[in-house]
Each structure stands twice: as C-alpha cells, then as structure tokens.
Structure 1
Amino acid sequence: MSADQSLEKVPVPQDGYDFVVVSNRLPVDRDVDEDGNSTWRRSPGGLVSALAPVMAQRDGAWVGWHGAPDETLEPFDHDVFHLVPVSLSELEVKRYYEGFSNATLWPLYHDVIAPPEFHRTWWYAYRRVNERFARRAAETASQGATVWVQDYQLQLVPRMLRRLRPDVTIGFFNHIPFPPTEIYSQLPWRKAVLEGLTGADLIGFQRPGDAQNFQRCVRKYLGVQFTKGSARFSEDTADGESTEWTVNAGSYPISIDVESIKELASDPQVQARAREIREELGNPDTVFLGVDRLDYTKGIRHRIKAYGELLEDGEISVENSVLVQVASPSRERVDSYRQLRELVEGMVGRINGQFDTISHTAVRYLHHGYPFEEMVALYLAADVMLVTALRDGMNLVAKEYVAARQDRSGRLVLSEFTGAAEQLKQAVLVNPHDIDGLKSAMLHARDMSDAEARKRMSSMRRQVLTHDVVDWSHRFLDDLAAHAPEHEQGAAAGQDSAHDDGAAADTTPGADRD
C-alpha cells in the first residue's frame, strides 16, 4: 500500500468552515516597512476578487502557503478571509514549486515548448507537500463542507482529501492547459496524478479541448470511460468496504473582475496618465503593447522578432511606431526563465541599437511589475494589443484590454493558441509561430478602419462583460453543489471504513504500472 493510500480519516473539526479554498498561495501579500514591521494586504487578481464575496457569505477559509520559506504561522484573519497557512521549507520550495510544478508540469502541460525535467526527488516533494495541503484542508472543513482546490501545483490533493474526509464535496480547477495523451504520457507519474485529480466531484478546465484531453488520459491510463462528461469511481478499503462517487469534468473558462477595470478606465487620473504615457513615448501614430509575465509560453520572442522585421522591411519606423513590452519578473530561480530573460534582452538591445534615434526608441522594454492602475493606463494608451502566447490556458490580459476600452476603440491581435481565442473571436487571430503571418496581422490591426475596430471591440466587450469572473465562480460552484447530495450519500455509506484504498495511485518512485 502506497503512502497516500494509507491516509487515515481525520475527525471533523468542531469549529470548521463550510467553504474552503485550497491554493498554492494565500490571497494576501506581506508588506514590510522601513522599521521591519509587517502587515498584510489583499493580493491582486481575479480569483481573489471573485471568491472574496463567497468567503464572506459562506463562512469561508483559505488554505495556502504564505510566501516565506522555513516559517510557521498560526491561522489568522484578514479582510473577509480566514487564512490557514501551510509551511514550506526552502528545499520544498525548490523541489515542489520551482522543480516539479514549474520545471516538470508547467512545460509538459504547455506542449513542451521548453523540455520538462523528471526527477524523483521533485516528485517525492510534490507528493509530500500535497499531502500537507490536504491535511490542512481536512482539519479546516466542517461536516459536509465544500472544498475548492486550485491548479496544477495541487493535483494530488483531491484524492488525498477524499480519503481523509469522505464527507466533503470537492472541486478542482485547472487554470492551465491539460495536454493531449501523446504529451501527457511522458510523465513518469501519470497515473498517480490522474488518480489524484479524480478524487474531485467536479474538475473544471479552461477549454472543452482540455477536458477532452483529460478524459482521454483517464480512459487510457485508468481504464475508466467518461460518458457525457461523467464517470464513476470507487475505492476498496483493506477490510473490503468501498466508497463510490461520480467525477464530472467540463469547461469553465475563467474571466476577469470587469467592474474594477471599468472603474479604473473611467477614472480621470488614469485617463490623464494614459495621455501622459503617449506623450512620453513621443506621441507616435501607433503604440503596440505587450503585457506578460516573462515566460517562454507567452511568445514574447516571436512578437519582438516580428516587430524587428517590420522595422527592417520599412513597414514601420521608430518615428511613427513604438512597441512597449512589459515583462514582469517570473520564476527567476528556474534556469529556463533566466535563459529566456537573456534572450529577450539581447533581442531588444540589438533592435534598439540598430533603429533607435536620439528622440525615438523602437522597443520600450520594462522588466518589472506595475500597479494595476498603471496597467489600465497602458491599455488605454495602446492602439494595438499584442497577445501572442504559444500556449495559454486562457490569457486574462486580452480580456482586461477589451474591458478597459470603453470607447470601443483599440485593436487586439490574439494568438489562436489561447483559451481567450475561443471567446474573443472578433480579435485578429494569429498563429504566432508564423512570423510572416504575425507581421501581417500587426499591420492589419494598425491599418484597420475605426468602424471595423469598433464593431469588433463591441462584440468582444459583450462577451467579456457578460461572462466575468463572478459569473465563472458561480457557474462552477453551482454545478459543484449539484453533485453534493449524491456525494454525501456515498460518503455516509462509507463512514465506518478506516481508510480508502483500491484504485489509488501507484506512487512507486519512477513507476507507472499500466
């Protein structure tokens, strides 16, 4: 029996919470002043904004790492959140987060744009940390609570949590793509991960294709067939008892906090800052904008290469156009990210060295983060938004740009390999691997008539404003609640079992017994 199969049920806490979110990070960031005093502030982002009212209404708690290694904190309250910190050592951050999560799973799930690394020590750390998160959730949830687990760092938590607390209803949302079988098959621990995920009652993906990929992988490696998005699973305990549940898998495309963006875009100070940005850029005819984490999945190199060739071709000039590229720092201790930064900065340096004049710069490259107010000002200042990801679960920058353009101006060039492309069909869609096609798309967006641009933007705004992040969370949680009665009956039938077993993951190091 493997380590996670032998998880014993834990008692239901007397002071538990009815709604528990489990994610790699807590929804707060720590600020330290000059005197060394620390305070907490709510983290930015759509997920936190979407779940804050749910937390307030449903007596909620949030389980996650607080961001500092080798530090243990007791649970505490901040804003509307009851926060339950999970401690991680420096070595676990290196192996579980930087290693298995971001150097194994991230590249594998993004179509192997960068080669994934497979190390057993990383896998052991991932499994150990996932169990710690599962235990903290089990010790936090009340009887029959709803637990919503977030993202690829915690894919083993659902099945572990089911063994610890079979009375709770479990949701899981995968914020990144899920790869096709041919790519997923490379993962040495492919069965263990699938069995971890299938502990959930409902698994949400960004796109229908991701859900279909997941279902095909389950059929191939676990031998379980999904019918209309549902499949039955069971586990037998050592004493012969069993528990059964239904797993549902479907598409729930995430969105943004539309109201906060609309509010900022209407702010006279933000609008004034947008005009100031254009003046600082020399008031060019066209401002092209890219906003990304510095990540190899975002197609930043392809975008800069295409822009450089347009300069060489004479289709644009530094006098009439500028590319502003915001590349916020990301995972700087991971080798592939350090290498990407060197490549991007080298490309920018060569282009600027060749085309800059005393008064004009070809590419304004900004390698740091900005307050969200500044980002909205940049959205308002940009004529053409370039979202050229090579693979992206959704890409919320595209939706933020659309939400900010309340006058329905602006043009969006959008990679067809983003989840957003399935919803923002009126964007100028492009294959970013096709540099000539990307160049043509950039020129087409630049030269598009105002009437056509407004028509396209109006259509995209209807989609984004109707389907915001609050709508996303409600749809997922409503569907998850629909599975609760059957799940609770199944859990009650298995209450007397000491622990769950059966179709659990084979966690033998490096093994995958198909």
Structure 2
Amino acid sequence: MSRLIVISNRVSVPKAAGAAGAQGGLAVALNSALRENRGIWFGWSGQETEEFTGHLDMQRNDGVTTATIDLEPQDIEEYYNGYANRTLWPLFHYRIDLTEYDRNFGEGYERVNRRFADSVRPLIDQDDLIWVHDYHLLPLGSMLRTQGVKNRMGLFLHTPWPPTRLLVSLPFHERLVESMLAYDVIGFQTEEWLGSFLHYLEKEMGLEISEDGCVQYQGRRIVAQAFPIGIDFAEFTQGAQSEEAQDAHDKLKASVRGRKILIGVDRLDYSKGLGERFESFSRFLADNPELASKAVLLQIAPPSRGDVASYQQIREDLERKTGHINGAHADVAFVPIRYVNRGYPRRQLAGFYRAADVGLVTPLRDGMNLVAKEYVAAQNEEDPGVLILSQFAGAALQMEDALLVNPHSLEDVSETIKRALAMPLEERRARHDKLLDSVRSEDVVHWREQFVRALHGTHCDAI
C-alpha cells in the first residue's frame, strides 16, 4: 500500500481521545488517513528560529508521524504574514482593495516553499502519494518536480479561486498558475471555484479542457475537480451528546432568560462579513421593536493574524459597532449582542449551536464554511433551529434548504432573521431533515476518500 505524505502550512499533532481542545474535523480525517496509510504529515511548526537549518522535528503521536521545521522571522513576515495573508488571501476572497503587492513578499513565498521542498524531499519514497494543502504552498509541487520527484501529487485549495479578471492583477500570476500544473490532481471546494480556474487556463494560457476536467500541459495530464469538504459527522455528533456540550447548552439557555438565540462562530476575518452581520441585526432590532428585547446575538470571533494591520482594524471596527448597537438597543437587564473574542472547545461549541434558534452564517466569500454544517449536525432533530446562510459561501451549493441570503443587503438579512424566528416547527423539521442528510452523507471522510481515489486514479491518461 502506498504511503500518504500530507504537506500543509501548519501541522496538527494528534491528541489523545478526550483531550482538552479537541481537533477539528479536517485534522481528524487526515490523521485517520495517515494512520491507515502509514503516512507522514509535514509542515511548519509555528515556531521561529534565528537561522534556518532545515532540522526536522519528527514525532509519533496516536499512530501518526509528524515532521516539522522552524522558520526565520523574515520567512514568517514575508511568506506567511506577507504573500500568503496580505496578497493571496484577500485576492482569493475578491478583496482586491486589501491586496498588497510587494516584491519581498513574493520572494519570501518562493523561498519558504523551496525550504519546504528541500526539507520534505528526503522523507519521500518512490511509491508515496503526496497531498499538498492550500494557498500557502501552490508552487511546492513544481519545486519537488525540479528535484526529481515523479510521485503522484495532488493539491487541494480550501479557499475560493478568484475570477480571471481579478487574478490577472497579481504580478507574475502566469508563473504561479503554471507551477500548479505540476500536480496530477488539483481540487477545489466548489464547481464555481473550479470553473474560475479552468477559465484562466483557457483564456490566459490557451489550454484545452476536456469535459471531465482533464488538462494536457507539456506532455502531462492533470485532472482538476471539485471535492466539497464536509465535517467529521460521527465525531462531531458524538461530541454534541457529551456532558460538556450539555453543560454549555444549559448555561447559555439559562443566561438568556427565555429569549431567542442567534449564533455566529467565525474566525476574526474580513471575509466573514461580521460588520455587515452586526449592522443587519441592528436593522432587525430597529425594524421590529416588538421583538427587539426578545432576541440575542452571540458572536464568537477568535482573533487571528494579529500582526496584519487589516485584522487589527477589523477588531477595532467590530468593537465600536458592538458598543454602538448595544448602546442604542440595550437596557439595564439586557444587551442584544454578546461579542466574544475567544475560542471554545468543539464540544462546548456544539452545545452552543444546539441552544441557538438561528445559526447566522453570512460570510461575504468563503471556500466552504464548515460552521454551517456543524450547526445543522448539532441540532435537536425534534425541535431544530434554522440556518441562515450566505449565498456566497461554498456550502450554499450543498445546503439549498437553508435560508439563503445576500450578506451585503442589510434588509435581506434582517427580514430573513424575522422569518427564521417565526418559522413553524413543521417547516423547520422539513428543512433540517434535508440539510442533515447532506451533512451526514458528504462528510469529511467522503471528501478525503474521493480525493485520494482521484490521486490514485489515471482517468486523465486516456486523453
């Protein structure tokens, strides 16, 4: 059996069952695949070193081997804070106004990808399958090919892929996309992001695409395909039945004193549309004074990328908006928005989801968005809550029975909140049943198996 080599920006070291701070579904699924295939997970440790040496820290935990390297401060600033998160991330989320182009960022990005290639190369055996993850490592496959690696290699992009008219604003975009064609399989979250990538290949590179997504380039055949990711349904629903989840549910319910609960859980990021969400909720409070004291929005937003100026600005803006909205609509015994800048273990989140009458998932642009799927999985099937979901989240294509909204329209979101809170039980059950079927059947294990099967496969060889 071929080993699986997973390569990502950061590595999630497996934790013992029941350990605090349980891992996310992606880590659980990849760890399972690595155990099954005697694989290795390689990436950055998250730590700094004064001088890069290429030293590998090899560990084995819960049957999974991990290998990590440390990076220099300049690497982190140019590769991670710079090109990855100030150039590619905003561009891939259609925020060209926030995209920064800096030659040093690009040089740092290529340097670190080369360091990844140099470090992981000695770990790769002839028959290994190599699975690279996300926008941090787009050119890694090309660099491994340069070092003589002939193994089957796949790339999965967890973010959106922007339209061609936006991507061409990126300096040296041709070189970046060309490097991606070193992979045998290129995976995207949705058909929309896949279509944007194929459009670029056709219009900017003049390549022909077969009906099944196969591309011929310099004597090689590449398959590009959508592989929608899901949650680890079994693991998450088991956690949702735990005592920890029940305690979180009960405490939240008791604290609102009979009021309806809306919940949002998002990393603090401009792509999540949190400012627009707060303003939409404020609009709902203003338009429905008879309901204004009967609903609470709990927004959990752990900070991220604090070294990037645009993220510092987001936090300041949200704190200001929260204060303004609460000042306008609160009284001595009630505040309409509970804004929390910290993360919670997944089991506690499951309890919060189950307690909430409405899941408010309204990103401006998202590759998938697994919070929407977790909210559905956590619900009481006999009395489920209602999912309000942005039409611009990748999950919207799989979750048509949610209430889909335009997150840019305050009026649309406000009216949909009112509809969700008034939705009769029969309709809530009918919608939830269909959503749950999708979340259960298209889980993260299904996603992993589909991608690895494509990586093993050779259907493009017939072109």
Is 1:309 matched with 2:288? Answer: no
Q: SS where residue 46 of structure 2 aligns? A: coil
User: Within the alignment, does 1:443 sit opposite 2:418 as a pair?
Assistant: yes
For the residue of structure 2 that corresponds to 1:232, the secondary structure is strand
Compute the displacement of 1:317 (Å).
4.4
Q: Which residue of 2 aligns with 1:165?
A: 148
The alpha-carbon distance between structure 1 residues 41 and 375, as it changes in their structure 2 partners (threshold 3 A), is closer
Q: Aligned residue for 1:70?
A: 49
Post-superposition shift, 1:27?
Answer: 1.3
Pick 1 or 2: higher relative contact order, CA cutoff 8 A, min separation 6. Answer: 1
**Can you list the C-alpha shifts for 1:463-513, whole angstroms capped at 9, x where unaligned?**
0001100000001100110139969xxxxxxxxxxxxxxxxxxxxxxxxxx
Q: What is the correspondence of 1:326-341 to structure 2 with a 5 Å cutoff?
A: 326-341=300-315
Mark the runs of 5 or more structure 2 residues left unpaired by the alignment: none
SS at match of 1:328: coil
CA deviation vs aligned residue, 1:170-219 (integer Å, no higher than 9, x gap): 00000000011001010002011101211100000001111111111122
Q: 1:394 to 1:54 in 2, by over 3 A?
A: same
Amino acid at match of 2:328: Q
- For the pair 1:458 / 2:433, whether they are aligned, the reply is yes
Q: Equivalent residue for 2:347?
A: 373
When structure 1 is superposed on structure 2, of 383-392 and 85-94 the one drifting more is 85-94
Counterpart check, 1:279 vs 2:254? yes
State the partner residue of 1:28. 13
In the TM superposition, residue 457 of structure 1 has moved relative to its aligned partner by 0.4
Q: Which amino acid aligns with 2:7?
A: V
Deviation of 1:113 (Å) = 6.3
- 1:41 to partner: Cα distance: 9.0
User: 400, 409, 417: which one pairs with 2:392?
Assistant: 417
Q: Is the 8 A contact 1:19 1:61 kept in 2?
A: yes
For 2:433, what is the secondary structure of its paired residue? helix
After superposition, the Cα gap between the structure-2 partners of 1:484 and 1:45, relative to the gap in structure 1 and judged at 3 Å, is farther
Could you tell me whether the CA contact under 8 Å between 1:176 and 1:206 is conserved in 2?
Answer: yes
Q: Deviations over 1:428-475 (max 9, x none)?
A: 000011111111111111111111011000000000001100000001
Distance (whole Å) between structure 2 residues aligned to residue 376 and residue 198 of structure 1: 40
Q: Secondary structure at the match of 1:66?
A: strand
Alignment partner of 1:402 out of 372, 376, 380: 376
Which amino acid in 1 is paired with 2:457? A
Q: What is the root-mean-square deviation in Å for CA atoms of aligned residues? A: 2.1
Matched residue SS, 1:75: strand
Which of 222, 231, 240 is 2:215 aligned to?
231
**How many angstroms apart in 2 are the aligned matches of 1:226 and 1:180?**
17
- For the pair 1:134 / 2:108, whether they are aligned, the reply is no
Q: Residue 296 and residue 143 in structure 1: after superposition, are their counterparts in 2 closer, same or farther (change >3 A)?
A: same
Answer with 1 or 2: which has the greater Rg.
1
Structure 1 residue aligned with 2:264: 290
Q: 1:347 aligns with which of 294, 300, 321?
A: 321
**Amino acid aligned to 2:190:** R
In 2, are the aligned partners of 1:28 and 1:41 still within 8 Å (CA)?
no
Q: CA, structure 1 residues 114+49, in 2 after alignment: closer, same or farther (shift >3 Å)?
A: farther
Deviation larger for 214-223 or 435-444: 214-223
Counterpart for residue 256 of structure 1: 231
TM-score, with normalisation over the residues of structure 2?
Answer: 0.94
Give the distance between the partners of 2:70 and 2:396, measured in 1 at CA: 38
**Which letter does structure 1 place at the counterpart of 2:76?**
V
Q: Give ranges in structure 1 of 5+ residues lacking alignment.
A: 1-16, 31-39, 235-243, 488-514
Query: Out of 20, 28, 45, which is 1:49 matched to?
Result: 28
CA distance, structure 2, for counterparts of residue 73 and residue 316 of structure 1 = 61
Q: 1:225 to 1:23 in 2, by over 3 A?
A: same
What secondary structure is seen at the aligned counterpart in 1 of 2:99? coil
Question: How far 1:160 moved relative to its partner?
Answer: 1.4
- Confirm or deny: 8 A CA contact 2:223 2:460 kept in the other structure: no
Aligned mates of 1:179, 1:462 — CA distance in 2:
30
Opposite residue 215 of structure 2, the aligned amino acid is A
Residue 239 of structure 2 aligns to a residue whose secondary structure is helix
Matched residue SS, 1:376: helix
How many positions carry a matched residue from both structures? 453
Residue in 2 aligned with 1:94? 77
